Structures are given as structure tokens and as C-alpha cells.
Amino acid sequence: MILTVTLQDDLHALAVRNAARRRGYGDFRIIECDQLSGRPSLSWNSHADSPVTLLDSDGNRVHLEDVSLLWWRRVRAPQKAAENIAKTVERSLINNDCRGALTGILTSSFHGEWVSHPEATDRASDKLPQTLIAKEAGFRVPKTLVTQSRDEVVHFLHQVGRVIVKPVVGASGPLMFTQYIDDPASFPAESFEACPAIYQEYIEGDEHIRLNCFGDRMYAALLKTDKLDWRADLTIPISTWPVPDEIGEKVITVLRRLGLRMGIIDIKLTPSGEPVWLEVNPQGQFLFLEPILKIPLADYFLDFLLSEKSSDLTSLR
């Protein structure tokens, strides 16, 4: 059985499950991590007196021992059933304990293959260590500063010429687009001190690469725009991009060092064609490219999950 942990109505999970059903693979279940509250969603005990069970999105009880692969997709979300609770402390209790119980049960009692393991996913989601690992793997990476000091940002601007700013982690809700910060001295110091942010040298060029790596297979798109953040407008020219062997090898090196079996990578090409590593999202969005590029990414991702499941079963024999 393949088990996916994600949010209710997650397009990616639903599309891959539909691909599985269309191809006759029925053992693809979804656990909605934001729907645990308000129903008996999970059960675990320390002495294995009864099986570990979880309630899937169709209301069926899943025995964890029957699961061979776990797709750890979207796991940090508040409980829908707690949204209308007035007291903050009560909402926090429900949200924290539902998330903590689900994570604890799976990390302690699931012994199959992860895509990818929670520890690796959390570590890789941190933009700072992934930047250093990409640099060690041979990628050029932008000069980067993380600070709460306006003076340091002003000095950094003088060093690199032009600076962009983006969040270290970000927040749920509307997309937070990468922005230029051309005159940091014009902002009050308190706005910098509120929380750290990532300040990077601006990389020239209008060619952006979205590289989807599923195991050892890669499917990439070239997006052409002079806008800093292409996510704001998908009417730009987008085409398939054959991944050069040298870049593919570096990507695999980065993901292996991060402990990831998949990753959605953003790269920018300079005017001379040099690839510059921007970041990897362990569970980024990729299905938006399927109708644009006319390639069956949901099926390709299902192939990847099935191959991971098969390799896990082989290792158990």
C-alpha cells in the first residue's frame, strides 16, 4: 500500500491517486492531516496490543503494517474542526497534539520507504544548509546574507550591486514573492529587526529552470521572463528543457546529501548560460507544468512511487 499524508483536497495527491486507479492500482490511500480532529482518526499503543491504525480520506481504517511506502507531502496545517474555537489556547492544543501524534506515530512505527523522511524533509527545507550543500556539490550559488541589521544589508548592497529579499521560511497563506530591495536605508531599522530575512545578490538573466527530480529521473521546464519571480505570471513562454548530464549529477549529489528521494529545484541561467542554484523544495508543486508541457507528470510521479515501493520490498526479501 502507498500512503500519502497531505491536506484535504490536495491536487497533487488526488491526481496521482487518480492515475493509480486508472492503471488498476487501488492501494493508494490519503491521510488528510488537517482533518484529524472531530473523528477517531488514529490509534497507537506502546506495547503493540492492537494494530496502529489511521483513518483515510474515504473513512476507511488503514493498518500501518500494510503500508510499504509513505509519501510525506503536506503535514503542517491547522485542523479544520478547530477553526471556530474561540480560545487560542484550545486551538493550539488541538492543532499541536494532532500534528504531534500523527508525526510521532509514523516516525516511530512505520518501517517502510519514505518520500522523503520527515527529518530529511525538515533539514532540506532550511534554505541555509541546502545553499552550502549545493555550493559544495559544484553549483554556483548567489552570495547570501541572513541578518536583522539594516546596516549590514546596506553594506551588502554596496558589495554585490543589487539585492533581492525573500523569507527564510515564510508563512501559510498567499504567496510571498521575491522582491528587490534597492534602497534598504530608506526603511526603518525596526522593519529589519522584526525577523531575519534572506538577502541575496541579484542574478542577471531571463531564463529560469524548474527542475522536477523524482528519484533518478528529471523533468525540467525553461521559463523565460524578465520578472524576478516567475510564479506571478504563468502566461510567459514555458518549454521543456533537457537536463545536461553535469547538472543532473550535481542535483543528485545535493539531494542525496540532504537525504531526499525527490525535490523540486529552482535554477537560474545567467546570460552566458551558467546555471545558478536558487533552492530546492522537498515537496514543491509540479503539476502546473503538466498541461503546459504536455507531459504526464502525475503518471511519471506514480511510476517513481511504485519504483520506490518495489525497491523497498526487494530490500526486505
The model's pLDDT over 142-153, given as tens digits with 9 standing for 90+, comes to 999 999 999 999
- Residue 73 and residue 60: Cα distance in Å, rounded? 20
Once rounded to an integer, what is the mean pLDDT over residues 249-258? 97
**Angle (CA) 262 299 294, round 5°:** 100
Predicted confidence at residue 190, as pLDDT, reads 96
pLDDT at 104 over 60: yes
> What is the three-state SS of 59-78?
CCEEEHHHCCEEEECCCCCC
Predicted confidence at residue 173, as pLDDT, reads 66
Percent of the chain at pLDDT > 90 equals 87
Predicted confidence at residue 76, as pLDDT, reads 86
pLDDT at 316 over 50: no
pLDDT tens per residue, range 19-48:
999 999 989 999 999 999 999 999 999 988
Band of the pLDDT at 310, cuts 50, 70, 90? Answer: low
Mean pLDDT of the chain: 93
Predicted confidence at residue 264, as pLDDT, reads 98
pLDDT tens per residue, range 85-96:
989 999 999 999
State whether residue 183 is helix, strand or coil. coil
- Start-to-end Cα distance in the chain: 17
Residue scoring higher pLDDT (189 or 47): 189
